[in-house]
Every structure is written in structure tokens, then in C-alpha cells.
DNA sequence: GAAAGAAATTAAGCATACTTAAACCTTAAT
DNA sequence: ATTAAGGTTTAAGTATGCTTAATTTCTTTC
């Protein structure tokens, strides 16, 4: 399954956002390809002015590269909204579908789709949708793992990459905007126990890392 | 711009429908590529069982190939309906957009889209939409060029390939379901003059060939 | 500050959908 | 029936996004 140059830019942007640092091997793992493939594409994208690259030292998106990345993210998220809101998809099934559609839709189509959907601000996983000019309003959120016992928090965002995580959240009743309190925290394995709607739930580290919240008190 | 194997199947199906006969060079021209490229892909598709091929003699779709072709056409036409009906596209702008989307949507997505659109029977150009089982109800239509003076006919289908043709039709007020009569026929250049809604219009051969009608008396 | 280990890059090669140029059938005309 | 013309296929080579293997560079450790 061949990836497009655009896809690299998008993933660089996202890894930078979520992990903080982008490396050749990190990107390779995220994209399910090998490091040399990444290295190769990085230098191509450097030539075309989308990336600033210093071999062996690191790379980052240029303004141009970031614009392309954000435009693709915009397409992805708007399609996700359409799939969930209009076609009735479950939130854990839309990622892959949107991944394909984003590459097959013109800017004009997306403009029309955005209007059709009444200019949604967030995608089904709580991620903000960049506007036509590439402006994106980032929420201030922290992963569940950073909460302390007694904290009360509200779910604002969930990572959309893993179907299993999303499926599990749905199963136990966790959705966006759910408010919960931290009952227990086990530093040993970084898991947390939370309470919401009169039930207690264990979140493993893997799960907790994918849930982003805003403390509400 | 690389074409997928599926696209060949679709184009074979369509050329067979509209022209009657499919040749290597004919397909190449339709697809905007060279004959060797077609020849090459034909033998690959023969190996995979989508096409029955006798070198130098001709080729045709197998049942399997036809199913794939029809499924792609189904996707194309449903997307066209969506673009026109929901997003407000003009009918002469949807072909290229649908051409891309059709390759990026799963069968499941199309099933949901079809329901969302309330199971439309025709696309914006009057082409029938195959159902999930690949069943397609072909209209009995004839090109305008086959009409005689005095005939009254109704527009049932227009070719969607040419933006210019569709744009022109819109400009002069011709749409699907418009009823008209043939005022004059010039056998010399195969053009016809028609009358509808109290105006007279000349249709060149090129135009007339792309308008399919049903005689109504 | 030298050596070992880790990470990144370069090299060589593969698959695929193309291209142009050459070779090959088929057919139609005399 | 032979040949010329035309369409079809094969051959050779290109671009692109990958792979594994080899090499280079960086970083960490002592």
C-alpha cells in the first residue's frame, strides 16, 4: 500500500503534536514502513521545499509543508464528521475510510462539504478542524495519565488511530464530554481507576494515554 | 496520473456499452494512455481472471471482471448524485471528482451512502445506478442523431465525459426530461435543429451524439 | 576522548503503471 | 496469393514508493 508524499507531511505534523519530537524511526513506525523509506522521502520533500532537513540531525516542516499537512488533516476530519454524523458510522470505524477519502477530494469539494456540515469545529474524536485558511484552534488538554487522585476531568479528545481503544471506550460507556473523577492511581503500572455515572472503571496505561481531558476543578 | 487495474475494467465496460466494440487502441484513446499500456494491463487482467483475452483477436470481460466494473460504476454514480443533490455541484463538474472518490470508498461506505441518498435510480446524467447485487436496469435510448424530422423525443441521458458539452446544454436550457421536436435535419453534417419551450436550437453532430433520448410518439 | 551501540542514510534492487521503439499479426487491396 | 497498411504486442527503459543490506554519523559510556 503506497503512501503519498502528502501523507508524510501529515504524519510529521501529527507526531510532532502528540509526541513532541519527530524522528526518522518514529515516523517509520507510525506509518508502518521502514526507516530508509522515510529517510528517502524526507530528502525529496526537502528538495521540494516542504521540509527543512539537516541530515543526521533532524527535520521539520516548513511553512509550506505545514500548510499541506494541515489541509490534509482538515479533509480527514471533515470526512470523519460526515461519516459519523450523516452516514451513521461508529466513531471507531471512520479513521481508515477518511484516510482514503482525504486524498481523493479537491479543496473545492471540501469547502462545499464543510458548509454542508454547517462548519463543524471538532471531529468525532474531539480534534479541532482547521478552517480553509489553515487556522486551527488547539485545545489545552492533558492525557489521563497526568491526572491525580481526586481530580475531576472531562473527556475532550481521544486518539483515533486505534479501533480497539475506541471500541473499548464505547463498550464501557466513555464518550466525549463525559465527566469523571479519579478514584485511584497505581503508579506502578501507570493505570488509573475512574468513576463516572455511578460506575468504576480501570484504565490501563495504554488506554489512559489515548484519552485527553480537561481538568474541571 | 496512474490508473488502477479496476479502471481498465470500468472503461472496457463503458466503451462496450456506448461504442459496441472494445479495441486496444480505442480503450487507449478513451483512457488517455498508449496502446502498449493497455495491451500490458489486458494480459495482467487476463491472468487474474477478469478478462478473456485472445492476443491479436480481442478481449472481453469475464463475469468476475464485469462485476468489478459494475461495482466501480455504482460507486461513481452514487457519488455523482451526492455531489449534485447534496453539495450543490453543477452536473458538468462532478465527473472528475467522482472519478477520484470511487476508488477511495469501501463497499460498506457506498451501501450507507446509497441509503442516505434514498436509493436513487439514476445519476445526474440519467445513467442508471447498479444496485448492490450489480443489477442494472438499462434504459432503451437512442442518440439524437437517429431521430427524424417531426419526431418528438425526451432527453433521458447525456454523456458525462465532456464538461464542455454539458456546460453548453445547461446554457441553452437543455436538461434531463426535456421534451422537444425535431424541426430540421441536415444529413450533410449530421446536425439537427430542435424546438423546445418555444425556442429553436441547433445541435451539431458532436452534441447530438452525446444526447440520448426516448421517442415519445 | 576512544570505543561500542544506536540511529540515520546510502546503495542496490523490486513492483507497478507507464513510455517509445521495434517486432509481430491480421486484414484488405490488388 | 502477395504485399502494404494498420493495429497489437513485445522489448527496453523510466518514475516512484517501497524493501533489505551496507555504510555512515551521532551519542553514550567508561
**What pLDDT, on a 0 to 100 scale, did the predictor assign at position A158?**
96
Q: How confident is the model at residue B174 (pLDDT cuts 50, 70, 90)?
A: very high
Residue range(s) in chain B whose domain bears CATH number 1.10.10.10 = 5-61, 78-138
> What pLDDT is recorded for position B52?
98
pLDDT band at B187 (very low <50, low <70, confident <90, very high): confident
Q: Using the predicted structure, report yes or no on whether residue A2 has a pLDDT greater than 80.
A: yes
Predicted pLDDT at A208: 94
pLDDT, mean over chain A: 96
Residues A136-163: tens digit of each pLDDT: 999 999 999 999 999 999 999 999 878 8
**Where are the extended beta strands (E) located within B55-178?**
58-61, 142-143, 152-158
On whether the CB atoms of residues B103 and B4 are closer than 8 A, the answer is yes
B166 sits in which H/E element: helix B163-172
B/e letters for B129-154, b = 16+ CB within 10 Å, e = fewer, are bbeeeeeeeeeebebbbebeeebbbe
Distance from CA of B151 to the nearest CA of A (A): 41
Of chain A, the percentage scoring pLDDT greater than 70 comes to 100
Mean pLDDT of chain B: 96
| Fold of the B5-61 domain | Arc Repressor Mutant, subunit A (1.10.10)
Q: Which of A183-197, B47-61, B109-123 has the lowest mean pLDDT?
A: A183-197
**Chain centroid to CA B82: how far?**
17
Class for the domain spanning B78-138: mainly alpha
Give the Å distances, CA to CA, from A65 to A32, A111, B42, B68: 21, 21, 39, 37
CA atoms of B150 and B179, how far apart (whole Å): 13
CB contact under 8 A, B101 and A104: yes
Cβ contact (<8 Å) for B100 and A104?
yes
Residues of B in contact with A80 (CB under 8 A): none
Asked if residue B144 lies in contact with residue B154, where contact means CB atoms within 8 angstroms, the answer is no
For residues A51-89, one letter each, b for 16 or more C-beta atoms within 10 angstroms of the residue's C-beta and e for the rest, the string is: bebeeeeebebbeebbbbbbbbbbbbbbbbbbbbebbeb
Q: With pLDDT > 90 as the criterion, what percentage of chain A qualifies?
A: 93
pLDDT of residue A141: 95
Question: Residue B109's pLDDT is what?
Answer: 98
Interface check for B111 against chain A (CB to CB < 8 A): the answer is no
CATH architecture assignment, domain A142-215? Roll (2.30)
Q: List CB contacts (< 8 A) between B103 and chain A.
A: 104
Query: What is the structure's pLDDT at A1?
Result: 77
Q: Where in chain A is the domain with CATH 2.30.30.90?
A: 142-215
Torsion over CA: A169, A175, A177, A181 (sign):
negative
Rounded distance between C-alpha atoms, residue A9 and residue A42, angstroms: 9
Residues A157/A141, Cβ–Cβ less than 8 Å: yes
DSSP state of B178: -
CATH (residue range A74-138): 1.10.10.10
Amino acid at each position: 500500500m503506497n503512501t503519498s508524499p502528502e501523507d508524510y507531511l501529515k504524519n510529521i505534523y501529527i507526531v510532532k503534536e502528540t509526541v513532541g519530537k519527530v524522528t526518522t524511526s518514529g515516523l517509520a513506525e507510525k506509518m508502518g514502513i521502514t526507516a530508509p523509506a522515510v529517510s528517502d522521502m524526507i530528502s525529496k520533500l526537502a528538495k521540494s521545499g516542504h521540509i527543512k532537513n539537516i541530515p543526521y540531525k533532524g527535520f521539520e516542516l516548513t511553512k509550506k509543508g505545514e500548510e499541506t499537512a494541515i489541509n490534509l488533516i482538515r479533509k480527514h476530519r471533515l470526512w470523519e464528521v460526515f461519516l459519523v454524523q450523516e452516514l451513521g458510522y461508529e466513531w471507531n470505524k471512520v479513521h481508515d475510510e477518511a484516510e482514503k477519502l482525504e486524498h481523493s477530494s479537491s479543496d473545492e469539494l471540501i469547502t462545499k462539504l464543510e458548509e454542508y456540515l454547517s462548519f463543524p469545529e471538532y471531529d468525532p474524536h474531539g480534534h479541532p478542524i482547521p478552517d480553509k485558511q489553515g487556522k486551527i484552534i488547539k485545545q489545552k488538554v492533558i492525557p489521563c495519565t497526568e491526572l491525580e487522585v481526586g481530580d475531576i476531568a472531562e473527556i475532550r479528545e481521544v486518539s483515533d488511530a486505534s479501533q480497539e481503544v475506541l471500541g473499548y471506550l464505547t463498550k464501557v460507556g466513555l464518550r466525549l464530554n463525559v465527566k469523571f473523577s479519579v478514584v485511584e492511581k497505581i503508579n506502578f503500572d501507570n493505570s488509573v481507576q475512574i468513576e463516572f455515572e455511578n460506575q468504576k472503571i480501570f484504565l490501563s496505561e495504554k488506554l489512559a494515554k489515548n484519552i485527553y481531558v480537561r481538568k474541571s476543578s
